[in-house]
Amino acid sequence: MIPFNKASITDVEKKYINKALDNFKICGDGEFTYLCNSWFKEKLNINNFLLTTSCSHALDMSAILLNLSIGDEVILPSYTFVSTVNAVMLRGAIPVFIDIDKRTMNIDVNLIESKITKNTKAIFVVHYAGVSCDMDKLMDIAKKYNLKVVEDAAQGVGAYYKNVPLGSIGDYGCYSFHETKNYVMGEGGALITKSSEDYLKAEIIREKGTDRSQFIRGAVDKYTWRDIGSSYLPSDILAALLYGQLQRFDEIMNKRLSIWNNYNDNFKILEERGNAIRQYIPEYSTHNAHMYFLILNTENDRDYFINKLKEKGIMATFHYIPLHDSPMGKKLGYSKGDLPVTEEYASRLVRLPLWADMSDDEIEYVTKNVLEILK
C-alpha cells in the first residue's frame, strides 16, 4: 500500500532527541526549544515565535489574546479543520462562515465585507495547502474595519505571500508540526505574534497564566499568576525532533516540491481532456508543496477514483467536510446550500500521496494509475 503520508525521520532527528534526553531537560523551553526559535528568526525572519503543543492550541491562544467573548463575531471559512472554529467557540464567540474561492479553496476575500457587523472582532484565514490567501486585500479590509487577523498557517510553514512568510502577516499566525505536516514533531505547533507586547502576553498564557518565562530569563525575581492560561509548551524532546527537521528544511522542501511539480506536469493532460482541474497557484503565492490535490468533475467521480486507487494499493483521500454542513454547523443555524462553492468543491476534491521520501517508483506508480483511471 502506498500511504497518503509518511514522516521523514533520519539519524539527524534521532541524534537530537538523544541529546535532549542526555540533557535531562525534558520539560518545555529547554535548549532545543530555543534553537528552534533562533532558527525561525534567522531563516524566516520571524521574531516573536513560541513553540506550542499544537496548532489547535496556538489558535486557542490567539482567541484568548483577542479577548474574544460572548456575542463577538469572527469571520472564517467553513472549508477548514475544526480547530479553527473551536478556538472561536471556546471563547463564546460566534463563527460567521464565508464561502471560498473555487480556484484556491481559500476564503473568498470579496465576500467578507458584506458579513461585517458592529460585533465583528476578527477574521481567521486559512492558507489551504500552503497556498496563500490574498493577504493585501484582506489586510486592507481588516484595517478599514479595525479587525484583527489570525492566520491559520497550519499547512503553510515555509510558504510565502509576496516574499513574506505565511503566519507573519496578520496579528497572529499559527503553525502545525503534526505528523501529517511538512515538518513534524509528532504533535506540535507554534504561535507567532506581530507585536512584542502580544508576545509577552502569549508567553504568560502559554505558561499556565504565569510569568514563569520572564522569571527564567531573570526579568522578575519570582513567578506568579498574571492571567488566564494553560500548559501550551511542548516537551524539549519534541523540540529536538523539530530541530532535526529544521536542519533538513531545504532537503525536505526540495523533495516535496519535486514530487509536486512532477505530478503537476504529468496531470496537465487531465485538464486538457476535461477530466480534472489542477491546483491553482496565484502569482503572489510561493507554496510549500504541502499537498497535491485534483478537483474531479463530480462527487461520484471523486469517490469512484478514490476506491479505484485503493484497489491499486494507493491511499488518496478527500478533505474537510464543510463545517457549516456538519451536525454542529446545523446547531448554529446553517444548512446545506448556504455556501455553494464550498459544498461543491469540497465534494470534488481528492488529495494524492505526497511525502518527502517517496521513491521514483512510487511516484511513477501513482502517476500511471491516476492517468489510467481518469482516462
CA dihedral 204, 206, 207, 211 (to 10 degrees): -10
Q: Which of 152, 198, 207, 236 contacts ligand PLP by CB under 6 A?
A: 152
Closest C-alpha to 135, from 107, 111, 103:
107
CB closer to ligand PLP out of 78 and 275: 78
Q: Is 355 in the site for ligand PLP (CB under 6 A)?
A: no
Q: What is the DSSP string of 290-326?
A: --EEEEESSHHHHHHHHHHHHHTTB--B--PPPGGGS
Point out which span in 7-15, 50-58, 203-211, 237-245 binds ligand PLP (CB under 6 A). Answer: 50-58
Q: Is 173 helix (H, G, I), strand (E, B) or coil?
A: strand
Kind and range of the H or E run holding 229: none
Contact 275, 298 (CB under 8 A): no
User: Does 233 sit near ligand PLP (CB under 6 A)?
Assistant: no
CA distance 242 to 13: 8
Q: Minimum CB separation from ligand PLP for residue 151, in Å? A: 10
Q: Which span sits near ligand PLP by CB under 6 A: 110-118, 148-156, 212-220, 258-266? A: 148-156
Binding ligand PLP (rule: CB under 6 A), the pick from 62, 84, 182, 275 is 84
Question: Judged by CB under 6 A, which of 154, 240, 352, 354 binds ligand PLP?
Answer: 154
CB of 126 to ligand PLP, least distance (A): 5
Residue whose grid cell is 490535490: 293
Of the candidate residues 37, 48, 54, 235, the single one contacting ligand PLP (CB under 6 A)? 54
How do strand 148-152 and strand 172-176 relate by DSSP bridges? parallel
Name residues whose C-beta falls within 8 Å of residue 199's C-beta, 6 or more positions apart in sequence. 48, 50, 193
Those residues with Cβ within 8 angstroms of residue 273's Cβ, 6 or more apart along the chain or in another chain: none
Candidates 68-76, 78-86, 164-172, 192-200: pick the segment binding ligand PLP (CB under 6 A). 78-86
Phi and psi, residue 75, nearest 5°: -90, 135
Q: How far is the CB of 75 from ligand PLP (least distance, A)?
A: 16
81 or 161: whose CB is closer to ligand PLP? 81
Distance CA 189, CA 185 (A): 8
CB of 202 to ligand PLP, least distance (A): 17
Tell me the window of 34-42, 51-59, 246-254, 309-317 that interacts with ligand PLP (CB under 6 A).
51-59
Q: Which of 30, 189, 234, 322 binds ligand PLP (CB under 6 A)?
A: 189
Beta bridge partners of 191: 50, 174
Q: Does 81 bind ligand PLP (CB under 6 A)?
A: yes
Three-state DSSP state, 109: helix
Compute the least distance from the CB of residue 11 to ligand PLP, in Å.
25
Q: Which is nearer to ligand PLP, 68 or 126 (CB)?
A: 126
Residue 99 found at the interface with ligand PLP (CB under 6 A) = no
Sign of the four-CA dihedral 332, 338, 340, 341 = negative
| Cα–Cα distance for residue pair 370/375, rounded to 1 Å | 8
Residue number, 201 or 351, with CB nearest to ligand PLP: 351
Give the integer Cα–Cα distance in Å for 79 and 371: 28
Q: Does 178 bind ligand PLP (CB under 6 A)?
A: yes
From residue 109 to residue 138, the character string flagging contacts with ligand PLP as x (rule: CB under 6 A) and all else as - is -----------------x------------
Q: What one-character-per-residue DSSP string does 191-222 give?
A: EEESSHHHHHHHHHHHBTTB-HHHHHTTSSSS
Among 104, 155, 213, 369, contact with ligand PLP (rule: CB under 6 A) = 155
Q: Could you list the residues that contact ligand PLP (CB under 6 A)?
A: 54-56, 80-81, 83-84, 126, 152, 154-155, 176, 178, 189
